[in-house]
Chain A
Amino acid sequence: MPDPIITPLTQALAEQKLTRAELRALMQRSNLPAAWRLLVWIAVLAATSALIWAAWDSWLIWPAMFVHGIVLVHHFSLQHECVHYTVFRTRWLNDLVGNICGFIIILPHQFFRYEHCDHHTHTQIVGDDPEMVPMPETFGQYLWYLSAIPYWRTKITELLRHGAGRLTPHERRFTPKSAERVVIGEARLMLGFYIALFGIMAITGWWAPLWFWLIPLILGEPVMRFIRMTEHVGRPTVAQMSDNTRTNLVSLPWRFLAWNMNYHAEHHYVASVPFHALPRLHEKLRDHVHVQPGGYIGAHRDILAQMRHGG
């Protein structure tokens, strides 16, 4: 039996920032909001794909692929929400959609789930938080992270390592022993899928997946890195949730793409609250969490200012 821990939620209830009745109302799940949002999501994907098609014979294909890539990389936000089982009330739908997202952005779902659980346990604790993005010390380091090159290097290495049947000691700490075979199996499945995809493209000469999916994904990933930095980078490396996480107030299109994950501090307070209820949770907790003025840009101003002044 593990030792009892005080979660931020338990703390919030004890401090009466939330009542149990409010919490219960906020936690209620439904398949409907996600179904509507997914319909719009698919329409947006179709529209940005059409941009690539329309720009096919011109240099404009590159900005079109970038725009499409911004939408594609936000499958991370949907997958993240699925990790918490808060997209759909029907639990297996979260697994299904999460796995589809994982194949789109090359992020095996079960492993991400275990890793992300550990991130919630050890948020911003140096050496323990497996998703921690270190505060850059120089502008060069800042740009290097935003290039997404270190991200892809880490993720591809991770995928190959799991495919080869190996987990690191740190990964073993948060992956249940009984789940190691699942993590290895899903890595092999994903590697097999991508090898088959490239094989089909090479044999048939049908390169559409490259132009409508993989190149846009690579072009768009720096935008996701830019957004991921706003969540915790530059916040104090302490366990206190009201300090270690930012909420970024951003415009409707970004909230849509992020499945409201810009309300990141609220999400860390109560990860069981579904995406559609996070704005309401924000109204309850706004005075108890760090709300960054200026949204994503404001967060980067803060990071850069701290960098200039030596962290």
Chain B
Amino acid sequence: MADDWTDLIGVADLTTGWVTRVDLGARPLAVYHTPTGIYVSLALCNHGGADLCDGYMDGHLIECPLHQGAFDVRTGAPIGAPATRAMKTFPVRIENGRVQIRLKG
């Protein structure tokens, strides 16, 4: 079976303790560098469509720049209104200093 991990960005290219945007084809992704590791989600807020990569990040919290709705980047769980639905996150691994995600599963 072919390797189903998709290469995104070098760990060294991430902003420490912050969010970095990576475009995977037409799909914008948000890569979070946190105290407990690296997490990845879709970049657009599922409430209003704003780019979470322009938002405020604090620990494991990412806050939408438009309405300040918030999500836990580890699980995608909404933790602040008006975000009410979990955001899509992806399994992540670090391979040879590169951030990789599994798009399916």
Contact = CB atoms under 8 A, between A and B. Distances in A.
Given A110-B81, A179-B84, A270 B65 contact: yes
Contacts of A84: 68
A3 interface: yes
B54 A10 contact: yes
A84 B55 CA distance: 12
B17 to A, nearest CB: 9
Nearest to A26: B56
A121 B42 CA distance: 21
Nearest to B83: A176
A61 interface: no
A117 interface: yes
Contact of A7 (B28, B63, B65, B84): B65
Contacts of A7: 50-51, 54, 65-66
Given A113-B81, A271-B66, A27 B50 contact: no
Nearest to A21: B15
Contacts of A210: none
A117 B47 CA distance: 11
A3 B47 CA distance: 10
Given A85-B68, A176-B84, A179-B84, A1 B63 contact: no
Given A9-B54, A91-B80, A121 B44 contact: no
Interface in A201-238: none
A222 to B, nearest CB: 30
A255 interface: no
Contacts of A23: 54
Contact of A120 (B49, B51, B58, B67): B67
Interface in B66-97: 66-68, 70, 80-82, 84
Contacts of B49: 1-5
Nearest to B84: A176
Given A113-B81, A120-B67, A270-B65, A27 B47 contact: no
A190 to B, nearest CB: 18
A121 B56 CA distance: 18
Nearest to B51: A10
Q: Is the interface of A mostly helix, strand, loop or mixed?
A: helix
Given A2-B49, A110-B81, A114-B81, A272 B68 contact: yes
Contacts of A110: 81
Most chain B CB inside 10 Å of its own CB: which residue of A3, A24, A86:
A24
A13 interface: yes
A3 to B, nearest CB: 5
B81 A27 contact: no
Contacts of B80: 85, 91
Interface string A69-95: 000000000000001111001010000
A113 B50 CA distance: 17
B48 interface: yes
A178 B84 contact: yes
B5 interface: no
10 contacts: A2-B44, A7-B51, A7-B65, A9-B54, A89-B58, A117-B48, A120-B67, A179-B84, A271-B67, A272-B56
Given A9-B54, A85-B68, 18 more contacts: A2-B47, A2-B48, A3-B49, A4-B49, A10-B50, A10-B54, A27-B56, A29-B56, A86-B68, A113-B81, A117-B48, A176-B84, A179-B81, A179-B82, A270-B65, A272-B55, A272-B56, A272-B65
